[in-house]
């Protein structure tokens, strides 16, 4: 993740929750992308050339980053999910797919679960990367409650925050509240296997990921009544950067089948 990915996308437009890097008004399918903790929608800008031309990327812009940097980030799941559902409701029409990485995958799953519980429209596919299943315990200690210096040190190991950002005290003062809030969401997310979704699920893991170990990713199978697939790609937790081409090939194939 670069500083650009943390802060820079086009102007918000009519819906500040969505960034569309290349609007495709006649698309047959919408791909809603949920970024990992601390990141913004620019993370998905490069995906435009790698996905089918009839898919419209709808990158979700959460509060506390990008041109919403002055808005406080959410720290509690119910409030976040209610706000996302309300903001995206008019766009959840036709066929659409949810993709998320790490915390973003948890958001994508929880939103799909909430829509299912209300009898609302469901994604044609749920694509989750670098995220343990809800009932799987965390493998690393929590850091969201630590004092700043200890929190920053913990970020070096678990986040995609660049070293130059961590070393910039003024910038970290601006970014830290959002990172802390996002990581609180990720670290407090848990649950048991709920009613399986009537949505196919595909999951991805990094071969050397210590946060979402690949050997536990197949446990996502219990969360769907439809098709399930699990893939392991080279890399650690942020394999969506280091193995981006391989990940996008899989995603493209999934989208073409929807």
Locate the DSSP E strands across 161-246: 201-206, 228-233
3-state secondary structure (DSSP) of residue 41:
helix
Q: Rounded to whole angstroms, how far apart are CA atoms 167 and 170? A: 9
Query: How open is the CA angle 88-175-177, to the nearest 5 degrees?
Result: 80
Per-residue burial over 205-226, b if 16 or more Cβ lie within 10 Å, else e, is bbeebebbebeebebbbebbee
Catalytic status, residue 159? no
Q: Decide: helix, strand or coil at residue 133.
A: coil
Please tell me which residue in 39, 102, 116, 159 is annotated as part of the active site.
102
Q: Which residues contact 79 (CB under 8 A, 6 or more apart)?
A: none
Residues forming the active site: 102
């Amino acid at each position: 993740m670069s500083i650009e990915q943390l802060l820079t996308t086009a102007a918000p437009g009519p819906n500040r929750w969505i960034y569309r890097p290349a609007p495709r008004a006649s698309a047959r399918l919408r791909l809603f992308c949920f970024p990992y903790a601390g990141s913004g929608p620019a993370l998905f800008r490069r995906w435009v050339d790698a996905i089918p031309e009839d898919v419209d990327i709808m990158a979700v812009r959460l509060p506390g980053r990008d041109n919403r940097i002055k808005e406080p980030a959410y720290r509690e799941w119910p409030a976040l999910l209610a706000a996302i559902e309300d903001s995206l409701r008019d766009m959840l029409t036709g066929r659409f797919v949810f993709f998320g990485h790490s915390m973003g995958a948890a958001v994508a799953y929880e939103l799909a679960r909430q829509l299912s519980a209300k009898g609302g429209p469901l994604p044609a596919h749920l694509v989750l990367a670098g995220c343990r299943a809800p009932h799987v315990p965390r493998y690393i200690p929590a850091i969201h409650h630590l004092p700043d210096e200890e929190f920053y040190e913990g970020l070096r190991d678990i986040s995609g925050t660049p070293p130059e950002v961590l070393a910039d005290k003024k910038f970290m003062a601006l970014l830290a509240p959002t990172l802390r809030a996002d990581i609180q969401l990720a670290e407090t997310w848990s649950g048991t296997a709920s009613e399986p979704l009537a949505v196919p699920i595909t999951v991805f893991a990094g071969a050397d990921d210590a946060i979402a170990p690949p050997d536990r990713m197949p446990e996502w199978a219990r969360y769907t009544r439809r098709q399930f697939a699990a893939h392991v790609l080279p890399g650690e937790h942020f394999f969506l950067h280091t193995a981006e081409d391989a990940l996008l090939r899989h995603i493209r194939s999934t989208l073409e089948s929807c």
